[in-house]
Amino acid sequence: MREIVYWILCAFLTVAIAIVSLRYVTNFWLLSFLYSFQVHFGVLFAAASLVILAVRRQIYGFVLLFVSLLLIAHGVIMLREFSGDDRGTDRLPLFRLMSFNIAIDNWTNSTAITNMVIASNADVVNLLEAKPLTFHLQQLFKAYPYHIGCDTGKDTCDTLVLSKRPFVSRQVASMGSLRKNRLVISSVDFGGETINLVSAHLSKPYFDDFQMAELEDLAKALGSIDGPVVLSGDFNSSSIAPSIQAFLRKQGLKTVAPEPATWPIAAGSLGIAIDHVFARPPLHLISLRRLDDNLGSNHSGLIAEFVLDRNGETSPAK
């Protein structure tokens, strides 16, 4: 009986490992979201392997355990691949940015979110699914005199970018064909340094291949930008998803490792980062943290600080 149970468990675990390991063969969109959980699945598979070995100690159980540990190890390596260096961490930041998907149905907490944004002391705020803030816009605009988005009523209030300083340039565009106006490209002068700010909200990766098309459009947009770049927003995927990895490598983007987990909220720090803040040299992230309270959203917000490195010298705060 133990032999039968052993091989049944082995068969199920083998299939599960094979599905997660398909990322090394193909980036199939239907499984793309699963790839974001590689480390989590690896831990689950390792625990299942130990259960199998408790039933019966045979070589195949040890093979499954070894493969599970490899998935964990490679997942951790991938999570650290896009970590920037620590230069400038002893300097004052050039500017601070907040990025937060507040959730499109989160009307109950709109007042608290508005107060939190104003109290954050962020120089630039990137708010996604901002419709619940419709009745607080004037209050926000007093604290942040310069804004992009939410100009023509709540039905078009999706991405809202707020700034304490005037925009040097501004553009609202679309990525892919599923949703419109979820790409905002702007630039702000911080004490003589022009910083390019890009806000992106990608579709879920299991919505056919829409996210892939969006990443292609986003790559084209970034490719046309010269100088320091910040890319922030909701990617609906971890940085270890194959499509996101390929995008980050091509664009030379860096972040802080480990990235703060932003989803699911119930998992806390054991979740995954699907909301991101990336920087392209000579701009460097010196800190990236999760907001203390998600304020009713199904995502956690992020606060990031940056320094600018010109010819090996980090620009001080202006």
pLDDT of residue 1: 81
95-308 has which fold?
Deoxyribonuclease I; Chain A (3.60.10)
**DSSP string across 284-311:** EEEEEEE-S--TT-SS--EEEEEEEEET
pLDDT of residue 262: 98
Give helix 38-55 / helix 2-21 axis angle, nearest 10°. Answer: 170
Q: Burial letters for 33-59: b for 16+ Cβ neighbours within 10 Å, e otherwise? A: bbbbbbbbbbbbbbebbeebbebeeee
pLDDT of residue 17: 97
Global pTM exceeds 0.95 = no
pLDDT of residue 87: 62
pLDDT of residue 208: 82
pLDDT of residue 26: 86
Helix (H) or strand (E) holding 32: helix 32-35
Q: Where are the domains of the chain?
A: 1-80, 95-308
- What letter would DSSP give residue 318? -
Contact status, residue 100 vs residue 302, Cβ threshold 8 Å: yes
3-state per-residue secondary structure call for 72-103: HHHHHHHHHCCECCCCCCCCCCCEEEEEEECC
pLDDT of residue 317: 35
Nearest CA-CA partner of 232 in 146, 308, 305 = 305
Nearest CA-CA partner of 237 in 267, 266, 201, 269 = 201
pLDDT of residue 153: 63
Consecutive 10-residue averages of pLDDT for the chain (318 residues): 91 97 89 93 98 95 98 96 74 94 97 98 97 95 96 80 97 93 96 95 91 96 95 97 95 95 96 97 95 97 93 42
pLDDT of residue 12: 97
Q: CB neighbours of 31 closer than 8 A, spacing ≥ 6?
A: 19, 22, 23
- What letter would DSSP give residue 263? B
Given 3-state DSSP classes, what are the helix, strand and coil percentages for the chain, each rounded to the nearest 5? 40, 25, 35
pLDDT of residue 86: 67
User: How do residues 227-273 score in pLDDT, each as one tens digit?
Assistant: 999 999 999 999 999 999 999 999 999 999 999 999 999 999 999 99
